[in-house]
Structure 1
């Protein structure tokens, strides 16, 4: 609808009449629609693309390592549908487009965007990695040729569920060989300085996302498939109702290659049939003493390193560790949950220890996502050479006081410490008038356990991480609970139901010989 021109209304300082007061309803709607178009991110990107000729600039493939506070985002992966909170990828893509490092009109596919792996809604990262093609200042024949042939799979299907943990198709460490390319080396013969990617991006990104470093990579590099390992950390206080030694006993059992179908969330859209993953390290250690005003507990961390992780695997493992730490479950329950094949049962880890065969996942609530962070993504030295922009300012106005990432994060940390100190004082004030309720946890003997389970009168607070608890006066042992459906049933129902269209497209692509990106990234 064309908006008719109108003479401006001259108003005195005391006038309260709106300049739109005599517009018709249709004219007002048309004006609002025009404003939305002019000021929407897509409108800005379109006008920016038209004004900036990306084809006139060379491109190079790089990897970016960045951190983000997951509490402020609806997960890492970009979603086509509206989400209650922005996604990390959506915000990062907009920043790259605003900095004219990528052409927004070409979308994620146009820049060959790949992520190392998805993280859940609310889950943070200290070392997430993406790889993509970006604009470069260094004009070499190699970059020009590579810019015309972007390669690599596109991002995971954005119709997948909002939150996932890990990716499925990581090869084992022994299957990965370092790949080195000349594109991993800066052009030392040129006096042209490369774009200071870190400074440029952090200037337009919110403080909750910080780019830490970048690396030149080869045209065939994949942030996902070149990853050798992924390291997760889960932080929790050792409250009075947790036995750390028992938790470590249970954690030790998952090291090695095991079937983790009972320690993840089933999702038919992922069509996963192989649930075996290799864990290289599973360890609990203290990271900070108890400095709380009322003895909440020293801070501990669960370090988990593996070649790949299933959907919600880390949070599921942590949920079982909490049950073991309270004494409600024995450490060998972890072994039972990985003992899924009746034709090839696992031997007891300790003599005389019972190990039940559990073919389907029992019903239990996974741990909270707030304390979980993707700590690092590991690559071969020949694949990446992480570097910072220090000393390569993007303008004369930039200085270390405004562009230094460490200083920026130190400021955020200082404010967080102040808030924590205030919360501690509030807790101390409340402790003068209120006592903590009685809890029978942790249970330290079989006799106590039998008594608690038989005569449950007191409400227990079973920890699930992040300061949250499940309040209950009745506890049902884990292996005596209702079992979930097997993966084959979940997968088949999805293929015949809401996933039929996507499954048919997948079959057609396989028939054409296209590469299929399986997995739960």
Structure 2
């Protein structure tokens, strides 16, 4: 089976499962609301009373228009962004957002809404300006929609936000063309990885990060996928800076034309080992040499908690903020920050009261999770090589032949 036939078969399977996936998304959220799912999962609580602005759902005949929604989230309690057509037992960001849109009649059916996300984030990863494009129900006329009118349109931001929990926020929307794709029209994506630099040589890490800039084959900084045979990307910027007003906290900032699966977390693992002086900064150059190293050494990727999708960049997209949403969103975010400060103070009090000594782990471990004893580091280039994308393709073709 050729590469093109594999892609066609994959798309056919995705479309076939779309309707089932809608039902699963709603069922998972309902289970969470009923308390049958893990109590730690965030809930999008149902509103018994009709919300302001929702009466229009029953009074008007809606027409379809394609829009982009920009949204942010704290991904700590979610099983990643993307919903799955197969029940995973855990709620995702899309499960909650889609449930809110279905209940407010922003959409009638997710499976036919032609939705796609600008950036797919894993379990525990966060976002500030992620984007979804999809067809929604508009209250404007066909002529107004064709003329890209936005005045008098439904307040999509406020309507959806009223149904969302405190860790997911819709921030703005934009009118887009019917062929616009949040994924394929994205010109660049920008990620930050926030970490505690205590015990790490940040200057060495900055030197290593600088080697990432430019057009490279990043296969050795990613987990291979069958559907991603092209592993060349352009990195526009990569640097490490201190977080303002937080002495030991730093952020690895990277902006590129696109990213491969687990690319930033695998990159951060390498940078942390460099900062711990367990690898030289030139390890980045070595891994970018795919002629010498055609397969990625199977080193572990960094933990997800510090990773944040900062922005998805598009051309000629004008974002519209939701009316009166600034104060509403500020309240939700500040409440979360207050609770986190209380939690931090409680843990500091516990540590002080119990007179607990300092952590003796290698500084990189909080980032990489690698539990090797001091003095027992295994060089990255000595790890067993993992299959690359071409290996996966050949394996798939051999299965088809057999």
TM-score, reference length from structure 1: 0.63
Deviation of the 1:471 alpha carbon = 3.6
Deviation of the 1:225 alpha carbon = 1.5
Quick check: 2:60–2:139 contact (8 Å CA) kept in 1?
Answer: no
Larger radius of gyration: 1
1:121-160 C-alpha deviation (Å, 9 max, x unpaired):
11111111001111122224253xx6xxxxxxxxxxxxxx
Equivalent residue, structure 2, for 1:249: 207
> How many residues are treated as equivalent by the alignment?
349
Equivalent residue, structure 1, for 2:76: 71
Structure 1 regions of 5+ residues with no counterpart? 1-35, 45-51, 147-181, 188-192, 291-296, 342-356, 392-399, 440-459, 504-521
Quick check: 2:275–2:364 contact (8 Å CA) kept in 1?
Answer: no
Deviation of the 1:71 alpha carbon = 1.5
Deviation of the 1:257 alpha carbon = 0.3
Assess, with a 3 A threshold, how the Cα gap between structure 1 residues 54 and 273 changes in structure 2: closer, same or farther: farther
Deviation of the 1:289 alpha carbon = 4.2
Quick check: 2:195–2:306 contact (8 Å CA) kept in 1?
Answer: yes
SS in 2 for 1:330: coil
CA distance, structure 1, for counterparts of residue 59 and residue 299 of structure 2: 51
Equivalent residue, structure 2, for 1:62: 67
Deviation of the 1:496 alpha carbon = 4.2
SS in 1 for 2:242: strand
SS in 1 for 2:273: helix
Equivalent residue, structure 2, for 1:264: 222
Equivalent residue, structure 2, for 1:186: 150
CA distance, structure 2, for counterparts of residue 433 and residue 373 of structure 1: 31
CA distance, structure 1, for counterparts of residue 118 and residue 184 of structure 2: 8
Quick check: 1:74–1:84 contact (8 Å CA) kept in 2?
Answer: no
Deviation of the 1:319 alpha carbon = 0.6
Assess, with a 3 A threshold, how the Cα gap between structure 1 residues 129 and 486 changes in structure 2: closer, same or farther: closer
1:112 equivalent in alignment to 2:84: no
SS in 1 for 2:311: strand
Assess, with a 3 A threshold, how the Cα gap between structure 1 residues 114 and 316 changes in structure 2: closer, same or farther: same
Equivalent residue, structure 2, for 1:84: 89
CA distance, structure 2, for counterparts of residue 230 and residue 495 of structure 1: 33
The 5 A counterparts of 1:27-426 are: 56-104=61-109, 107-108=110-111, 110-143=112-145, 182-183=147-148, 185-187=149-151, 193-240=152-199, 242-268=200-226, 270=227, 272-290=228-246, 298-341=248-291, 357-380=292-315, 382=316, 384-391=317-324, 404-426=328-350
Assess, with a 3 A threshold, how the Cα gap between structure 1 residues 334 and 54 changes in structure 2: closer, same or farther: farther
CA distance, structure 2, for counterparts of residue 367 and residue 330 of structure 1: 18
Quick check: 1:252–1:283 contact (8 Å CA) kept in 2?
Answer: yes
Deviation of the 1:386 alpha carbon = 1.1
TM-score, reference length from structure 2: 0.80
Quick check: 1:63–1:223 contact (8 Å CA) kept in 2?
Answer: yes
Q: Which runs of 4+ in 1 moved over 4 A?
A: 52-55
